[in-house]
Amino acid sequence: MRNSQTLFFRNASQLLTLAGGPAPRRGRALAELGIVRDGGVLVADGMIVKAGRTRDLAREAKRLKALEIDCRSRVVMPGLVDSHTHLVFAGSRLGDFEQRIRGKTGREIARAGGGILFSARQLAQASQRDLLTRASRFLEQAALFGTTTIEIKSGYGLDVPDELKTLRVIRQLMKASSIEIVPTLLVAHALPRRFRGRKGDYVRFIIQNLIPEAGRRRLAECIDCFCDPTAFDHRQCRRILEAGAAFGMTPRVHADQTGRSGGTQLAVSVAAASADHLDHASPGDIEALARSNVVATLLPGANFFFDSRTYPPARALIEAGAAVALATDFNPGTCPTLNLQFIMSLSCTAMKMTPAEAIAASTINAAYSLRRADRLGSIEAGKQADLIVMGVDDYRKIPYFFAANHCVLTVRQGQVIASRLKQGSRGTRRSRSHALPAIS
């Protein structure tokens, strides 16, 4: 999906390059955005040719006959990378939502037939086509929010046919969607009813049946598990991750979310790409993460949706030197939002990350956690032209004007994949000189 069109994004009030310095960003480097005022980006063949000051690029842009996109009073930055979602599901969990408002706990809701097992029943009844249609709409929404790369986990199947059905939907999305997708096999998400009281048997069943089926078909790039006191223990999860790794799947771990599970230590010991949630990570866990290349992926949207008084320990992680990323955790039960900009706001207000840290955590560090930082996550010559134009003149306004969508243009591989620019802006796609509407 390469575009031969040459584009010149010019006069951005702030161009956030995130350039320079190795990925992942740690400590003070997490707040270094590589800001260029009156910034410009030259894009050709879907790649970034040059980024810098507009006046230093203008001559080359003219020589290449680039289409000019006026980004005055706008921030131009790398496309957002949402590195943790459960985007393929059927129905919703509106019943759980109302029950929780009435004060019911997760356990009570699950006992009454809600929770993950409810989503699993809905998924079992849904056709592959229905799942695909719904997921495609969610991806369109994500692109409007500025997301250009997204990780999608299976996990509501709980048995072999439904998990494979989910992974096939993800594969179809990978072919059809304008967003880059990283497919993850999430096993050991919840214990199906037929295995009640037999967790060990279920883990064995997954390892002997599901992982080899998905592995042989190469349906998943990563493998994930829910290592939590309410789900599976670290020994069971280790066996699962190792079984996935034997098929070339990169481990990721839902770790220490509702209580300390040993998930963080497990992530470090299997050199996982990411340990996610970390609400109950201990000082020792944080130290271990800081000494490793495992990205600490924080998902404060789930805490917000549950009206939690506590949030993951972002400051302690950053100060210890861990590589911190942010993601939505988009799912029907605990975080039904695809707006990563809102997650950035939450990371500032609830976890005391700075706006600059929130941006690096949602771009370059998230790309690193998906093993794509060499190609994505910053605006530098030679990288893929995934960038977004935000309708603000200062990046700090992105989390400050919270719960809004500031993204007006989403570009992936040099092509516009979503636009919220007003209809009737100058030009049409047919006319060479105005192939993209100018932003004024």
CB 351, min distance to Zn ion, A: 17
Q: How do strand 67-70 and strand 295-298 relate by DSSP bridges?
A: unpaired
The answer to whether 327 and 340 have CB atoms below 8 angstroms apart is yes
Smallest distance, Zn ion to C-beta of residue 189, A? 8
Closest to Zn ion by CB, 236 or 257: 257
- CB nearer to Zn ion: give 97 or 400: 97
Smallest distance, Zn ion to C-beta of residue 127, A: 24
- The Cα–Cα gap between 314 and 26 comes to 12
**Amino acid sitting at position 4:** S
Q: Which is nearer to Zn ion, 228 or 329 (CB)?
A: 329
Closest-by-Cβ residue to Zn ion is 329
3-class secondary structure per residue, 245-300? HCCCCEEEEEECCCCCCCHHHHHHHCCCCEEEECCCCCHHHHHHHHCCCCEEEECH
Among positions 367-426, residues that touch Zn ion (CB under 5 A) are none
Decide if 154 contacts 186 (C-beta within 8 A): yes
Question: Cβ 245 to Zn ion, closest distance in Å?
Answer: 20
Q: For Zn ion, give the closer residue by CB, 285 or 329.
A: 329
Q: How many residues bind Zn ion (CB under 5 A)?
A: 1
Q: Tell me how far, at minimum, the Cβ of 306 lies from Zn ion, in Å.
A: 13
The residue (of 156 and 247) whose beta carbon lies closer to Zn ion is: 156
Smaller CB separation from Zn ion, 82 or 329: 329
For 219, phi and psi rounded to 5 degrees?
-90, -10
CB-nearer residue toward Zn ion: 256 or 329:
329
- The contact mask relative to Zn ion for 321-340 (x = CB under 5 A, - = no) is --------x-----------
Compute the distance between CA of residue 28 and CA of residue 345 in angstroms, rounded to an integer: 19
At 103, list the tokens. Answer: 């004060």
Q: Indicate the length of the chain as a whole number.
A: 440
Taking the complex as a whole, the smallest distance from the CB of residue 231 to Zn ion amounts, in Å, to 11
Q: Residue holding tokens 């495992």? A: 294
Amino acid, res. 258: T
Residues 6+ apart with CB under 8 A from 367: 23, 81, 83, 149, 373, 375, 376, 377, 378
Whole-angstrom distance, CA of residue 325 vs CA of residue 366: 5
Smallest distance, Zn ion to C-beta of residue 46, A: 31
Nearer Cβ to Zn ion (275/407): 275
Q: Rounded to whole angstroms, how far apart are CA atoms 291 and 6?
A: 42
Minimum distance, C-beta of residue 76 to Zn ion, in the bound complex (Å): 30
Residues at the interface with Zn ion (CB under 5 A): 329
